[in-house]
Chain A
Amino acid sequence: MEFLSIPFAVCMTITFILYYLRRSRRWQHCILLAASAVFIGYYHLAYLIVAAGVTLFTFFAGKWIHKYPDTKKGTLILWTSIIALAGFWLIARYWSPLFPLGISFYTFQALSYLIEIFWEEEEPEDDFWDFALYMMLFMKFLSGPIERGRDMLPQLKTAKPFSYRQVTRGLKLVAWGVFLKLVIADRIAPSLNMVLDNVRIASGMQLLTATLLYPIQLYADFAGYTAMAIGFGRMAGFEFHPNFNRPFVSQSTGELWRRWHMTLSFWVRDYVFTPLDATLRRYGKKGLYISLLVTFIAIGVWHGAGWTFALYGLFQGIVIIYETLTKKARQRAKKRIGEKTWKLIMIIRTYLLFALSLLFFRVGKISDVFYVYRHLFDGFNDSIKELRLGMSDFYWIVFGIATVIMFILEYLNSRHSLINWTEHLKAPVRWILYAGIAVIIFLFGAFGVENFIYIQF
């Protein structure tokens, strides 16, 4: 069930009430496990069976690896487990008619867990039910954040007392996520889909507009989901890692990937890039570049089946290698042009490169991506009204203002937590603010509005 649905709202409400009914670790974990099973099984029972199977496998593999630290046998068990988990994921991705939801995320959690045990950085978890909760907790099941065992398993060792402050902070974060998803991402989605699903009949200006706006839609969608996931987790007393840190202020693609989908990029850095780079270190810079390319292609392939995703990753890798090679030149240019101007140029340049690379991510065929590149500046077909992409001027204004608000609030939040700041407001002001946010989401959110387009005129 999606976060923004009535079944989820009902499930979450019942779970929350039962969860805080007793301050007992076992009780709370039972409730969360049951809720997770309902959440996962609601989509398809097979998804629940697969998740449970991967959990079981990983739990026992971890115990087995721990028996043979730093030995050939331990290495063999680790590699067999990695091949089994990654292989199963690949089969599900490329050959299975049913791709189990969340598998990319919990498989990565499983892999990191086993690797950390092998490196003796972590002890295997003894409590199977705690481990099951770590792997299948519904709040982060669908799309992360990807949590490490060492960060989350200790959080499962104590019962969570009800904390008014923690719960309300969580709720505020959920509200922020809802705003991002409904008022920004879902508002612009139908218009961008109209162009990006049919690139060969769109005009050049439409392609340009859609290309430039797609990163914002993707960010608002995913950051919105993540905010909701972290918010729900906080309501249950858990702290998850953030996935985004104002990625659009990045001045290089390397920096972008330290701010975009951070739990994924840090995972890949620690478990793909670093070991590969370490293995190839005798080749110096060549080894570094190969590691970068392989890592980013892996990131691309993780996102989806098909060459377009691999090319998406390759694009990132090539740009980062280029940035590494031209570091000195860029520093010289920065001194000549001046820091502020340079910063602005680099932010725009990073955004544009990211937008161009995302076409591989979004558009189904490679030939269509290159078609878009060739026709970006082709102009209009009939009139400037095409730039509306089927959305009314009113909703363009709503989208624009909401996006500006998003950037401003994120900037302010980077200086001081806005959620904490609301706690210092007087009660009437706070309530007006909450009501205002609810009204804004209600009035301007895109609640499947595109489905209402049976109104003829």
Chain B
Amino acid sequence: MERKEVLEILRDILAKVLKRPGIQLDYGMSADDVEGWDSLTNMMIISETEKHFHIHFKMRDIIRMKTIGDMCDIIIQKQK
């Protein structure tokens, strides 16, 4: 899967979980840059992402996801 595709899917997931249909993301954004993405919604986003991509994140994967770009890379890695 391409990075851009993953980004689009993540955008849909965040829009669904955070109830913000018009949300825009880029690779450099982190949770601090996205309104509503905090420690309470974080695992819901992670969970939805795992369900969608049929993958399982380990704790150290979650820790390494500092930005959207990191998330995309880890997802692509998991799919290989």
Is there an interface contact between A278 and B43, defined as CB atoms closer than 8 Å?
yes
Is the C-beta of B62 less than 8 angstroms from some C-beta in chain A? yes
Interface members, chain B 22-52 (any A CB < 8 Å): 39-40, 42-44, 46-47
Is the C-beta of A284 less than 8 angstroms from some C-beta in chain B? yes
Collect the chain A residues with CB atoms within 8 Å of residue B40's CB.
254, 288, 292, 324
Is there an interface contact between B46 and A281, defined as CB atoms closer than 8 Å?
yes
Question: Dominant SS at the B interface?
Answer: helix
- Please tell me which one of the listed residues B43, B46, B47, B63 contacts residue A119 in the complex, with CB atoms under 8 A apart: B63
Is there an interface contact between A274 and B60, defined as CB atoms closer than 8 Å?
no
Collect the chain B residues with CB atoms within 8 Å of residue A281's CB.
43-44, 46-47
Is the C-beta of A273 less than 8 angstroms from some C-beta in chain B? yes
Bound: A275/B39 CA distance, A: 11
Collect the chain B residues with CB atoms within 8 Å of residue A275's CB.
59
User: What is the minimal beta-carbon distance from A63 to any residue of chain B, in angstroms?
Assistant: 19
Bound: A121/B70 CA distance, A: 14
Evaluate whether A288 and B63 lie within 8 angstroms (CB atoms) in the complex, with A273-B39, A274-B39 already known.
Answer: no
Bound: A363/B59 CA distance, A: 39
Evaluate whether A121 and B46 lie within 8 angstroms (CB atoms) in the complex, with A269-B39, A274-B39 already known.
Answer: no
**A169-182 interface mask toward B, CB cutoff 8 Å, 1 = contact, 0 = none?**
00000000000000
Give the contact-size bracket for chain B: 10 to 19
Query: Max chain B CB contacts within 10 Å: which of A70, A275, A288?
Result: A288
Interface members, chain A 47-94 (any B CB < 8 Å): 70
Is there an interface contact between A282 and B42, defined as CB atoms closer than 8 Å?
no
Evaluate whether A278 and B59 lie within 8 angstroms (CB atoms) in the complex, with A269-B39, A273-B39 already known.
Answer: yes
- Please tell me which one of the listed residues B43, B59, B64 contacts residue A288 in the complex, with CB atoms under 8 A apart: B43
User: What is the minimal beta-carbon distance from A368 to any residue of chain B, in angstroms?
Assistant: 33
- Please tell me which one of the listed residues B43, B63, B64 contacts residue A277 in the complex, with CB atoms under 8 A apart: B43
Bound: A121/B42 CA distance, A: 19
Is there an interface contact between A121 and B39, defined as CB atoms closer than 8 Å?
no
Collect the chain B residues with CB atoms within 8 Å of residue A324's CB.
40
Bound: A287/B47 CA distance, A: 11
Collect the chain B residues with CB atoms within 8 Å of residue A278's CB.
43, 46, 57, 59, 62
User: What is the minimal beta-carbon distance from B52 to any residue of chain A, in angstroms?
Assistant: 14
Is the C-beta of A120 less than 8 angstroms from some C-beta in chain B? yes
User: What is the minimal beta-carbon distance from A292 to any residue of chain B, in angstroms?
Assistant: 8
- Please tell me which one of the listed residues A70, A120, A282 contacts residue B47 in the complex, with CB atoms under 8 A apart: A282
Bound: A413/B45 CA distance, A: 36
Is there an interface contact between A274 and B47, defined as CB atoms closer than 8 Å?
no
Quick one: closest A residue to B40, CB to CB? A324
Bound: A399/B26 CA distance, A: 50
Collect the chain A residues with CB atoms within 8 Å of residue B57's CB.
278
Bound: A120/B43 CA distance, A: 21
Collect the chain A residues with CB atoms within 8 Å of residue B59's CB.
119, 275, 278
Bound: A70/B60 CA distance, A: 9
Bound: A292/B62 CA distance, A: 18
Bound: A343/B61 CA distance, A: 38
Interface members, chain A 120-169 (any B CB < 8 Å): 120-121
Collect the chain A residues with CB atoms within 8 Å of residue B44's CB.
281, 284-285, 288
Collect the chain A residues with CB atoms within 8 Å of residue B46's CB.
278, 281
User: What is the minimal beta-carbon distance from B34 to any residue of chain A, in angstroms?
Assistant: 16
Is there an interface contact between B60 and A119, defined as CB atoms closer than 8 Å?
yes
User: What is the minimal beta-carbon distance from B16 to any residue of chain A, in angstroms?
Assistant: 14
Evaluate whether A121 and B63 lie within 8 angstroms (CB atoms) in the complex, with A254-B40, A269-B39, A324-B40 already known.
Answer: yes
Bound: A339/B57 CA distance, A: 40
Quick one: closest A residue to B19, CB to CB? A328
Quick one: closest B residue to A254, CB to CB? B40
Bound: A128/B10 CA distance, A: 44
Query: Max chain B CB contacts within 10 Å: which of A278, A285, A287, A288?
Result: A278
Seen from chain B, the residues whose Cβ lies within 8 Å of a Cβ on chain A are 39-40, 42-44, 46-47, 57, 59-60, 62-64
The 3 closest A-B pairs by CB, nearest first: A281-B43, A277-B43, A281-B47
Given contacts A119-B63, A274-B39, 9 further A-B contacts (CB under 8 A): A119-B60, A254-B40, A274-B62, A277-B39, A278-B59, A282-B47, A288-B40, A288-B44, A292-B40
